[in-house]
Structure 1
Amino acid sequence: MSTPTPPGTVDRALRTALYADPGAAALDTAASLLAADPDADGELARRGREFVAAAWRRGWQPADVVRIVRRELDDVHVRLVAALILEQAPDDDRPRGRRWVDQLAGLDRRHRDAAASRAPRADRFSHATAVLELYRLLLRLPALEPVDEPVRPPHAPGERRAESRMLARIRALLAKAEATGYPEEAEALSGKAQELMARHSVDEALLASRAPAEDTPGACRIGVDAPYEQAKAMLLDAVATANHCRAVWNEPFGFTTVVGFEPDLEAVELLYTSLLVQATTAMTKAEAEQRAGGRKRTKTFRQAFLAAYAHRIGTRLTAAAEQATAETVQAEGKGAAGLLPVLASREVAVSAATDRLFPATTTTRLRGVSDAAGWTEGSRAADRAQVRPRRSLD
C-alpha cells in the first residue's frame, strides 16, 4: 500500500511562515528548518522565482517590485529580490517592451555594483529569515492595473536614429539645467527641453493626421518616493498634464501611473526626473538662506516649498507646450489642417484609456501646506525656473 510522500523542508517552512501563523515564532521555526537543511537551498530559490513570476501575472513590473520591497523591508531584501528577478528573467517567455528591458538592465547594473561591495553573507538562519520575509511580501502583492507595453516592430533605421537624436538632445538640455548654478540658464534650458518635447508630440500627431496609424495610448509607472510624496505627485501630475497625459497616484505603493501616447510618456519621464532634481536643489539653497537669517525651517517648509514649485511650474510648462503647438500650426499653414482634430482625438483617447484602467479614482487634498515662507520660496524658485521657449538656444 502506497503512502503520501512527507512534505519537504521547503514546503513545511513555507506553510509555517507564509500560510499559517504570520507571527515571529512561526518565522523563527521556519527559518530554523531551512537553516538546518542546506539541500533545500535550490528548491527555496526556485519557489522564489515562482513568486516573482506570479507578481508579473498580477501586473507588477521589475521596478515596482524592487520599489515596494525597498519601502517595506531592508537593503538585504532588496538585494535578494534583485537576484531573484534577474534569475527568473531567462524563464520569462512573454514578449516585453522597452521599459521592461530597461528596468532589467538597470537592475542588473545596480545588482552587480552591490555585489562588488557586499558584506559577507549572513549566517544560514539570518539568511533564511530574510528570504521568508521577502517571500511573505511577494505572496501578498495585490493585482495592479496592467501597463504592459506593446512590443512594436523595429522602426526603419533612419527613423530610429532621428528619434534617438531628439531624446538625446532633450536629455542633454535637462542635464545642463540640473548642473548649472545660474537660475536664468536653468530656465532657458528647461524651457527649450519642454519646447522640443511639445514639438515632438505635435510632429507625431501630424504624422497621424496624414497617415492614420494604429497607435493607442499606453501607460507607465513612475516612482514617487518619500519624503514629501504628495508634493512630488503634484509635480508629476503637472508635468503629465502639460504633456497631454493623465496621472493617477497610488500612495500606498509609492508610484504614479501616467497614461498617454509613447512620445509624451517619454517626455514626462525625462522632465519630471529633471525638475525634481532642480526643485530639490533650489529647496536646499532656500533652506540654507533661511537658516542664515536665523529662522529655523521644518518639514512644513519643505512640503510647502515643493507644493508651490509644482503649482507654478505646471502653469509654465503648459504655457510653453501651448506656444510650441501654436507655432507649429502656424508654420505648417494649410498642411496642419488635420492637426487640431487629431490632437483633440488623442486627448479623448488618453482620457478613455485612463478611465478604463482606473474606473474609480478619488481626489486628495494636499496636506501639510501651512508654511507661508516655504510657499513663497517655492514660488520664487519656480519663477526662476519658469519654462518657455528660448529661440536663442537653437
Structure 2
Amino acid sequence: MWVQRSAVADQIVVQRPESVSTKGDPMGKNSRNRRNAKRRKQEARRRDTRASDSPGSHGPAQPEDPEPCPCARCQRSDEAPLRNIEDWLINRLSLLWESGWQPVEVVRQARRSSGRDAADLVRIAILVDNSQREKQRRDPLWVAQVESLGDPSSADDVNIGWLERWCLAGPAPDSRSHTSTELLLALVELGPIHRMIPPPGSDVVDVVQLRTDVDDPDPVLAKVRALLNKAESTEFAAEAESFTAKAQALISRHSLADVLGESHGGDCRLASIRIPLDGAYVRAKASLLAVVAVASRCQSIYLTSYAMCSVIGRPRELRRVEILFTSLLVQAQAALDEVGRAASPGSSCRSRSFRSSFLSGYASRIGQRLVAERDRAVQSYGPDALPVVARIDSEVEDEVERLFGGDLTSARSRTYNSLGWGSGVDAADSAQIRDGGLATAGSPAELPQRPREGSR
C-alpha cells in the first residue's frame, strides 16, 4: 500500500491498488460480500468516532438551546491556536537574534510587510521575550533598543495569554487574529544577516556595530551638524549648497587628520552600521548613500530584500556618513518638491519615473563633487598621505569581501527619465562655489553611479 498525507482532512489515507481478478479464489461470492459489508460498517464507525471528537460536532445550537457545545475540545478550540502562536513567535524571535536581527529592525520589517498592527504585535512579543532573559547577559545597545520599544502596559502583558489579550484589545479581534498569522509568515521570510550586536546570552558578532561614545563627543561633528542644519533650513538653493560644501570640506580635512593620526598607533578597527531606507524611491536613496559612503572612504551595500544598507568603514567616518546622508536627503527632497510645485498639473515632472531619476541624477552629481573635495584634502597633505589612504581603502574592500564574498552585484536603475535625471544634476550643481564648494566645474566623474547590492 501507499501512504500519503491528505492536504484536506490532515489524516492518513490508505491508497489501495486496483482490484485484481478473483478467478480461482477459494473464497465464494457470499463470503466476499460479507467481508465487504463488515469493512463498510467498521469504516462508518471510525467516521462517527472522528466526527464526535471534532469542535462543534454536536450540530448548530438550536434556539431553545443557547448554550455552546460543552465538549472539552470545543471549549479550547479558540485558545489553543493562539497559545501555539505565542510559543512560535517567541521561538522565532530567538532564531532571529541568532541570525543577526536586532529588535528595532524586526519591528520595522513587520511594519513594512504586514502593517502597523503587526509591528505592534511583534513589539509586544519582543518585550515578552526580553522579560524571559533578565538573567542573561545583554549588550547595552540591545537593552537600549528594547527600552525604546516601551514597557508593557500591565504585568499580565508578559504572561501566558498575552496574544489573546492583544487580539481582544483591538476593535476587530478577528482581524487581529489574522494579523498574527500574517506576522508568522513575515518572520519566516527574514533570512540571516550579519550579527553586529551580540544576541542575549552571547558575545559572538560578525562585525562590530558602530557605538556612539557619549563620554568623548566629536567636536567637529557638532560643527558639521550646525552647518547642515543651516543648509536644511534655508530657502535658497545656492546658500544651502554653500553650507553643505563647508560641512563636507570640514569632514574631509578632519577625516584625513584622523587617518594620519591613527596610522601612528591609533585605533583603526573597522565597524558597521545598517541604515534603513523608508518611503518611495528606495533604490535612488541607496545610490545617494553609496556615493556619500565612498566619498568618506566607506562602502555601502544595499540589502534589497529588506530596504536597508549596510555601511562598512572606520567609526568616525561612519558617523559622518550618517549625518551627511540624512542632510543631503532632506535637501534633495526639498529641491524635488520645489520642482513639483513649479510644474503644471499633469506634467511629467510629477511622475514616479521623473522623481526617481531626479534623485538618481542628484546622487550622481553630488558623489562627483564629494570625491573631488576628498581628493583635494589628500593633496593638501602632500605625498605622505597617499599610502595611508590607500591602506584604508584596501582594508575596507577586504572587509566587504569577507562579509559578503560573491553575493554582490551591480545595481541597475529600472526606470530612467532623462528630464528627471538632468533636473537632479542641475539641483546638485546649482551653485558653482570654488572656495568651500564640493567641486570645481568640470571635475571628473570618479564615482560609480550604481550602488552595490547584497543578496541578503
| TM-score (norm. length: structure 2) | 0.65
User: How has the CA–CA distance of structure 1 residues 390 and 219 changed in structure 2, closer, same or farther, with 3 Å as cutoff?
Assistant: same
SS of the equivalent of 2:413 reads coil
Q: Does 1:363 align with 2:410?
A: yes
Aligned-pair CA distance for 1:225 = 2.9
SS of the equivalent of 2:429 reads helix
Q: Does 1:348 align with 2:394?
A: yes
Amino acid at match of 2:392: R
Alpha-carbon distance in 1 for matches of 2:300, 2:294: 8
User: How has the CA–CA distance of structure 1 residues 308 and 154 changed in structure 2, closer, same or farther, with 3 Å as cutoff?
Assistant: closer
Comparing 279-288 with 134-143, which one deviates more in the overlay?
134-143
Alignment partner of 1:72 out of 113, 121, 128: 113
SS of the equivalent of 2:263 reads helix
1:170 corresponds in structure 2 to: 224
User: How has the CA–CA distance of structure 1 residues 297 and 60 changed in structure 2, closer, same or farther, with 3 Å as cutoff?
Assistant: same
Alpha-carbon distance in 1 for matches of 2:259, 2:431: 28
Aligned-pair CA distance for 1:324 = 3.0
8 Å contact from structure 1 (residues 316, 386) kept in 2: no
8 Å contact from structure 1 (residues 192, 387) kept in 2: no
Alignment partner of 2:139 out of 96, 110, 114: 96
Alpha-carbon distance in 2 for matches of 1:354, 1:33: 56
8 Å contact from structure 1 (residues 97, 150) kept in 2: no
Aligned-pair CA distance for 1:362 = 1.1
8 Å contact from structure 1 (residues 234, 310) kept in 2: yes
8 Å contact from structure 1 (residues 67, 254) kept in 2: no
1:225 corresponds in structure 2 to: 278
SS of the equivalent of 2:182 reads helix
Alpha-carbon distance in 2 for matches of 1:386, 1:82: 48
Aligned-pair CA distance for 1:65 = 1.6
Aligned residue-pair number: 338
| 1:253-299 deviations in Å (ceiling 9; x for gaps) | 11111111111111111111111111111111112222279666311
Alpha-carbon distance in 2 for matches of 1:278, 1:34: 57
Alpha-carbon distance in 1 for matches of 2:362, 2:284: 9
1:307 corresponds in structure 2 to: 360
SS of the equivalent of 2:410 reads coil
Alpha-carbon distance in 1 for matches of 2:75, 2:327: 48
Q: Does 1:139 align with 2:188?
A: yes
Aligned-pair CA distance for 1:181 = 0.6
Aligned-pair CA distance for 1:378 = 0.8
Aligned-pair CA distance for 1:72 = 1.1
8 Å contact from structure 1 (residues 173, 190) kept in 2: yes
Amino acid at match of 1:266: R
2:372 corresponds in structure 1 to: 319
8 Å contact from structure 1 (residues 188, 388) kept in 2: no
| TM-score (norm. length: structure 1) | 0.74
Alpha-carbon distance in 2 for matches of 1:177, 1:243: 20
User: How has the CA–CA distance of structure 1 residues 153 and 352 changed in structure 2, closer, same or farther, with 3 Å as cutoff?
Assistant: closer
Alignment partner of 1:85 out of 114, 122, 126: 126
Q: Larger radius of gyration, structure 1 or 2? A: 2
Alpha-carbon distance in 1 for matches of 2:398, 2:276: 23
| 1:286-331 deviations in Å (ceiling 9; x for gaps) | 122222796663111111111110110101111222223333x25x
User: How has the CA–CA distance of structure 1 residues 255 and 45 changed in structure 2, closer, same or farther, with 3 Å as cutoff?
Assistant: same
| 1:200-239 deviations in Å (ceiling 9; x for gaps) | 32232122122243x4222221122342222111111111
Aligned-pair CA distance for 1:357 = 0.9
1:6 corresponds in structure 2 to: none
- Aligned-CA RMSD value: 3.5
8 Å contact from structure 2 (residues 295, 370) kept in 1: yes
Alpha-carbon distance in 2 for matches of 1:138, 1:229: 22
Amino acid at match of 1:355: E
User: How has the CA–CA distance of structure 1 residues 156 and 104 changed in structure 2, closer, same or farther, with 3 Å as cutoff?
Assistant: closer
Alpha-carbon distance in 2 for matches of 1:241, 1:195: 15
| 1:6-53 deviations in Å (ceiling 9; x for gaps) | xxxxxxxxxx9xxxxxxxxxxxxxxx9988339966x85565333223
1:22 corresponds in structure 2 to: none
Amino acid at match of 1:364: A
User: How has the CA–CA distance of structure 1 residues 272 and 217 changed in structure 2, closer, same or farther, with 3 Å as cutoff?
Assistant: same
| 1:100-155 deviations in Å (ceiling 9; x for gaps) | 5665465449x9xxxxxxx9623443333222321332234211133346489997
- Unaligned 5+ residue runs, structure 1? 1-15, 17-31, 112-118, 331-335
2:341 corresponds in structure 1 to: 288
8 Å contact from structure 1 (residues 313, 386) kept in 2: no
1:52 corresponds in structure 2 to: 93
8 Å contact from structure 1 (residues 174, 190) kept in 2: yes
2:41 corresponds in structure 1 to: none
8 Å contact from structure 2 (residues 358, 423) kept in 1: yes
1:37 corresponds in structure 2 to: 79
Aligned-pair CA distance for 1:390 = 2.8
1:273 corresponds in structure 2 to: 326
SS of the equivalent of 2:240 reads helix
User: How has the CA–CA distance of structure 1 residues 235 and 152 changed in structure 2, closer, same or farther, with 3 Å as cutoff?
Assistant: closer
Alpha-carbon distance in 1 for matches of 2:123, 2:292: 30
Comparing 60-69 with 228-237, which one deviates more in the overlay?
60-69
User: How has the CA–CA distance of structure 1 residues 209 and 150 changed in structure 2, closer, same or farther, with 3 Å as cutoff?
Assistant: same
Amino acid at match of 2:294: T
8 Å contact from structure 1 (residues 217, 259) kept in 2: yes
